[in-house]
Each structure stands twice: as structure tokens, then as C-alpha cells.
Structure 1
Amino acid sequence: MPLVPYASDPARSRGREFAIENTFARGPRTAYQRDRDRIIHSIAFRRLRYKTQVFVAPDGDHYRVRLTHSLEVAQIARVIARVLGLDEDLTEALALAHDIGHAPFGHAGEDALNAALTGRGGFDHNAHALRVLMRFESPYCEHDGLNLTWETLEGLAKHNGPVAEPNWSLGELNTEFPLELGTWPSLEAQVASLSDDIAYDNHDIDDGLRAGILDLDEVLAHPFVADHWAEVEARYPDAPLDRQLAELVRSQIGHMVNDLLAETRVRLKGIASVDEVRAAGRATVAFSPALESSERQFKRFMYEKLYHHPLQLETARRARALVAELYSAYSQEPVLMDEEWIGTMPRHEPDRSRHIAGYIAGMTDRFAINCHEQIYGVSHEDLGHV
């Protein structure tokens, strides 16, 4: 299927940071296909298997983690990209990599690292994703990082929109390989971003109910869900509840995808190029105003009932303390870190503290727990069990 004029064309990519690469052919792949494959084969991507999505170190195999969430986002994003005539491979690469900069324990870990770097630039998982992909993840002989295309890096840097005030990490990388942070990103990046919302808005319902934290009646009575639930009950009145709920999630996802497609097609009128997408002054890929309002209300409900549930808040408190204590231990005794990280430890601040935060940010939940237990001799067997 040929790309539409406002799609990102791999044949017209702005290239990679390091132009000199090993030129041996490794299959008939486009530049964006190579980006996707590099991300999938990276160590950082594999670590998402043991990083928090909603629940810290869950002991049930059916709960989502960052890896499974990223795969679900990629599936939704690729479908949308196909319908709109966009580059599916770039869209998939962005969806797969969007959470790769997360610290252990999700936002609780990020908060702890941000506090630890007070006065040293702070910590932001979006900016750290670029740092991981451009500097830390280095399997190639010719250069640091995965050397992804400009379009992939730009999409990750700006997947939530233009960046007016980049933090130190993104600012440094942007100086070395400018990503035009003040403009809107490609349509592929915008699709990946809203596919993230579609995925977690609906799949977190499933995990929250499975954990017994969300109240079923409250969820099903919420306006964001109620109409679709009524349709499911009418269509499958005799089906078991678990199958009805699975149908509800599918129905919700389909509704949000169709709404996004309809609104985006309206916003695409008059746009004839990628450059016009970047200069549009607003998001081109979007939900309708009605769905956007409804979805925002549902997010508030989920924060109150799930993400800020007392059990979740207590787990987050313990996770923040654990990460803060790891940072303190490595700051006082860097020899406790892995040999590779000891050998590359900067001598001066703020680079020294940022280096330590980068080491911790790469940890999985379980590795962070094990490291803390080894250093402090405190067991965390019950941390986050659901």
C-alpha cells in the first residue's frame, strides 16, 4: 500500500546521527524497519519484561508489565497507521520504545530519581529513553547507541508534543543531533502516543479488577464505560462475566480507535506533507472533543480508584524509599555498582550523580530489590504482591 503524502517516507529519512556504519547488507529492510528491529533486539527492550506497568513486581503471570503493554500499544498503533496510510514500521518502532526510559517501579522510581537529582537537572523518563537509545545501548563497533533514524528519535522526544524546555539529558542530545523540539512530531509519533492512552485506559481496567482493587460496579457505572457495558450485556446476556468483561475491553478499544480515525481525518484536510504536520500548530491525530472530555474524566476516576488507592500509594512509598537508598549507597560507595559502570564513572558533578541515576534507571524491579537486599540486608518479599 503506497504511503500518503503526509506520511514519513523511509526513503526520505533525514538520516542517522552517525553516518558511517558497517555497510554489509542484512536483508531488504527500510530504515524504519531497521530501527524497529534494533529496538526489539536491544537489552533495554528485554528489561521491560520486569518493569512495573500498574503493579510493582506482581506475583501473578496474568498482569501486564511494561513489555506486554508496549506490545499492545504497538498492535493498536500499527492498525491505525495502516488505515491512515502512514508508515507502519516507524509507528511500531515508536510504540515499542516509548516506555524504554522508565526506571524500576514506574513513576515511583522516577520520582525518587528526580528528587535525588534535585539541583543536578532532575530525571525524566522520556528524556532518559533517548539517552538509553543514543548512548547507553551500544552493541555496534562503529558508534555509541543504536544510531536510530532522526524520525524515530524525534518521535520519541516529542511524542507528547513540542518540547519547550528540555531537561539536561534531552538538551544535551538535541545539541549533538538536533531534533527540532519546538515543532509537532510526525503523524506516526502522534498515533503511537494516543495508542498508549487507548491501551492503558482499557487494559488497566482488566488488571485493576483482577487485583481486586477496582470495584466492578463503580467501573461499569462510569459514563466512559456504561454504554458499552449495556451493549455487551444485551448482546451476550448469558456469557460468563469474565468473557463479558473481555468483550467490553475490545469494544472500548474499537470505539476509541474509530473515534480517533474520524477526528484525525477531519484535521488532515488541507495537509499535504510531513512538514505541514510539523507546522500545524496543534495535534493532528486526536480524539473528538466529546471523547477527549470523557476520557479525561475516566482518567481522574482511575487515579482515584486504582493508581492512588491506599495499597498502591503504600507500595509506591516503599519503592521510592528503596530507590532513594540505592542512590545513597552508590553515591557513597560506587564500587557497589557493576564493573562496567564503575569504570565509566565521571569524576565531577553533576555528571557523577547523573551517571548513578542512569545506572539505577536501567534496573528492573526485581534487580533493584535484589541489589537493595544485598546492600542493606532487608527483605522485600512482600513488596507489591498482588
Structure 2
Amino acid sequence: MNRAPYASDPAISRGREFPEDRAGTRGPRSEFQRDRDRIIHSISFRRLRHKTQVFIAPDGDHYRVRLTHSIEVAQVGRVVARALGLDEDLTEALCLAHDIGHPPFGHAGEKALDGALRNRGGFDHNAMAMRMLMRLDSPYCDHVGLNLTWELLEGLAKHNGPVAQPNWALEELDAAFPVELNSWPSLEAQVAALSDDIAYDNHDIDDGLRAGFLQLDDLLTLDFVADQWRAVEKRFPHAARDSQLRELVRGQIGLMVNDLLDHTRAQLNGVDSVNEVRAAGRPLAGFSPEFAAQERALKSFMYARLYNHPDQVATAERAREVIASLFAAYEQDPALMADGWATQVPGDEPERSRHIVDFIAGMTDRYAIDCYAAIYGRIPEGLRNV
């Protein structure tokens, strides 16, 4: 691997929260490869296969869920990292882990849990990802959490940029193992965040078209999408419409990746170390200003036509009510929680409510539905719109 001078280097990692002595016991892997593998083998990662991406509890097998989305983000991230000479393993690990803190039913579930903790510190899925990986998912005998490297945790905490006002969960974790919340993260983390944008911008189009929530004619009001569509029609005039639409999505991913690479390379001129990346005071990875404006227009379109579609909003509200009802039930009678959780409920607030939220946040969509049915004697209706 040709490592660029501004790349993160596992050989000089800042280490892990809990010292380990496992050298050579599980194969010749770098520290960042170990991080990636710990994430892939974790319970938290496996649960993503039954957590909402866009559509809640979809019946169709072809719609994205958090797991398939995370894998797609990792694919984009590795391509970009390799082209820029970054550490591919750290980039991949960040991409795979970035959504682990999402509760059941996606942002609808997050809204419910934030409401449950309104006067107790609130809920944030990025902080919950850190909490899952550092405290709650504990498969090892000699320490809590997955004990990931400083670089992985730094990137996860700050992949969207410096954190000026961390919530209670992130503040506690940063006090235990500081990750310099006020600086920009590594390029691997910046690339992971942009890979997330590229993946969901385009794959949500794919799912939205499949579900009938988006119409091609409406998409073509965006000039750069229309340009891509004309190129597809010219190149594959006799292909089936479904194949042309898949080609449109692939073409847009390529367009965004190439713009990201060109602009980022220009931004990195003269940058010679990862410390300079963190001290830059601004992101060094990104789209060109012109393309960034187009990407923002695409996001605005997707919010107006898909994410805030009346059917989506109505389904999300029903999902929010399910999660809020679960919290209310467990708050009244913590014995209703699963074994291990019910017996460890703190006696004082806010720890008591946060413990209940930890339990709910780890649920999959279908487990949350099962728990609701067991408590209230009925299966919640209207949680599927595709």
C-alpha cells in the first residue's frame, strides 16, 4: 500500500483505552484491521440488518436497511481512500460503524428517545454509537466495550466535524478517553462522512423510485441528474427502463466520487501529516463548491419528495409512538425489560432513564415490534408503507 504522508498510520496509533497484550495471537493484522474486524463481528453491527434506513420495516427484500447501507458506504469509502493513499482499513471501519448508534425505526425512534430524555441530557445517535462500542457491546473478558483505537473513536465522534457541545454520553466517554473533540478529524473520517452522503444520496433515489415515492420526471428537474440521464439514454437506448435507472444511480455515484477526489487532491497540496489535517481548522476532503451546491439541491429535493413525503411522515409518527410507548412501559415497570437489563436498573435519575434508553436503542425494528406486542397485546399497525 502506498501510504500518503497525511494518512493515518496504524503503526503509530495513539492506542486503546485499555492496554492489551494480544500480539500475534490472532493473525498478522494492523491495529485498524483489528478495529474493522471487531466491528464486523460485533452484535451491534449484526443488529443493523433489521434497522430502518429510509423505509420502516419494508416487506420487499430489495430495500436498503442500515446494514446494507453501511456496507455500501464502506465500498465507496475504500475506493476513495485507496485513490488518496489513506488507510483503507480505518476508513472502512469508520464506514461500517457510523450508524451503529441508530435506534429502531431510524430518526423516528431517535425523536422518541430524545423526547424521553428531554430533561435528562437528550439522545443523539452519534453519541450512542460511541456508547455502544465503548461500553454496552462487551464481548471481552478483560475490559468493557470493543476497546477500539483512539483513531477510530476520534473519527466516529467527529466524522461530521468538531463537536463544540457534546451531549452527556459523549462528554462522559471523552472524559474517560479524550479524543480532542474541538479539532477536525483525520482524512479517513472525513472521507467516511462523505461516502455516507454519496451512498445515501444515490441509493435512496434507487429505493424511492422502486417504491414509487419518486418519479423520474421530477428528478430530471435537477440539471446534473438530467445530464446523467441523457448520457444513459444515449449510451443504452434500447435497455429496459429499470436497467437505465440503475445505470443512472451508478453514474451519479461515479460523478460524485470523481469530483470528491479532484477537489480533495487540490486541497491537500502541501499537507504533509495527519497532524496538519487535524490542525487545518476546516475540512480538507470535500466536493468542489459548484458540485457541493448541486449536492445540496439534491438533498433538498429528497427531503421534499421522499423523506418528508406525507406517507413517510405518517408512518414515522406511528413508529415514534411505538418507541415512546415502550419507554413509558419500562419506566413504569422496569421488570418488563429483558433479563440482565431489568436487574441492573439504577435507582436514581437520570441514570435510570438512560439505562432504559440504552436498552431500547439497541433493539432492532422487529424486536421493538415484538416487545410492544408482548406489553400491549397487539401488533402496532401501519408501520409499513412499501
Aligned partner letter, 2:247: E
1:384 Cα shift? Answer: 1.6
Q: State the match for 2:314 in structure 1.
A: 314
Aligned partner letter, 1:184: W
1:23 Cα shift? Answer: 5.0
Q: State the match for 2:267 in structure 1.
A: 267
Structure 2 distance, partners of 1:200, 1:191, is 14
Q: Is the contact between residue 52 and residue 365 of structure 1 (CA under 8 Å) also seen in structure 2?
A: yes
What does residue range 1-386 of structure 1 map to in structure 2 within 5 Å? 1-23=1-23, 25-380=25-380, 382-386=382-386
% same residue: 67
1:245 Cα shift? Answer: 0.7
1:229 Cα shift? Answer: 0.5
Q: Is the contact between residue 3 and residue 86 of structure 2 (CA under 8 Å) also seen in structure 1?
A: yes
- C-alpha offsets along residues 82-123 of structure 1, whole Å, 9 cap, x if unaligned? 010000000000000000000000000000000110110000
1:346 Cα shift? Answer: 1.3
Aligned partner letter, 2:345: M
Aligned partner letter, 1:245: L
1:347 Cα shift? Answer: 1.3
Structure 1 distance, partners of 2:64, 2:89, is 24
CA RMSD in angstroms comes to 0.9
Q: Is the contact between residue 315 and residue 384 of structure 2 (CA under 8 Å) also seen in structure 1?
A: yes
Structure 1 distance, partners of 2:20, 2:47, is 29
Q: Is the contact between residue 102 and residue 125 of structure 1 (CA under 8 Å) also seen in structure 2?
A: yes
Q: Provide TM-score, normalisation by structure 1.
A: 0.99
Aligned partner letter, 2:273: S
1:224 Cα shift? Answer: 3.6
SS in 2 for 1:196: helix
Q: Is the contact between residue 335 and residue 343 of structure 2 (CA under 8 Å) also seen in structure 1?
A: no
Q: Provide TM-score, normalisation by structure 2.
A: 0.99
Structure 2 distance, partners of 1:51, 1:305, is 22
Structure 1 distance, partners of 2:280, 2:78, is 23
Alignment CA distance shift 1:218-1:267 (3 Å): same
Aligned partner letter, 2:133: L
1:22 Cα shift? Answer: 4.6
Q: Is the contact between residue 22 and residue 142 of structure 1 (CA under 8 Å) also seen in structure 2?
A: no
Structure 1 distance, partners of 2:358, 2:382, is 26
- C-alpha offsets along residues 152-203 of structure 1, whole Å, 9 cap, x if unaligned? 0000000000000000000000000000000000000000000000000000
- Structure 2: which 5+ residue stretches go unaligned? none
Structure 2 distance, partners of 1:24, 1:90, is 20
Q: Is the contact between residue 322 and residue 380 of structure 2 (CA under 8 Å) also seen in structure 1?
A: no
1:220 Cα shift? Answer: 2.6
Structure 2 distance, partners of 1:142, 1:23, is 15
Q: Is the contact between residue 162 and residue 181 of structure 2 (CA under 8 Å) also seen in structure 1?
A: yes
Structure 1 distance, partners of 2:309, 2:5, is 46
Q: Is the contact between residue 315 and residue 382 of structure 2 (CA under 8 Å) also seen in structure 1?
A: no
Q: Is the contact between residue 6 and residue 272 of structure 2 (CA under 8 Å) also seen in structure 1?
A: yes
SS in 2 for 1:69: helix
1:21 Cα shift? Answer: 4.5
Greater CA drift, 336-345 or 179-188: 336-345
Aligned partner letter, 1:282: R
Structure 2 distance, partners of 1:95, 1:46, is 14
- C-alpha offsets along residues 234-288 of structure 1, whole Å, 9 cap, x if unaligned? 1111110011111111110000000000000111012110000000011010000
1:378 Cα shift? Answer: 2.3
Q: Is the contact between residue 134 and residue 145 of structure 2 (CA under 8 Å) also seen in structure 1?
A: yes
- Structure 1: which 5+ residue stretches go unaligned? none
Structure 1 distance, partners of 2:224, 2:369, is 37
Structure 1 distance, partners of 2:7, 2:26, is 25
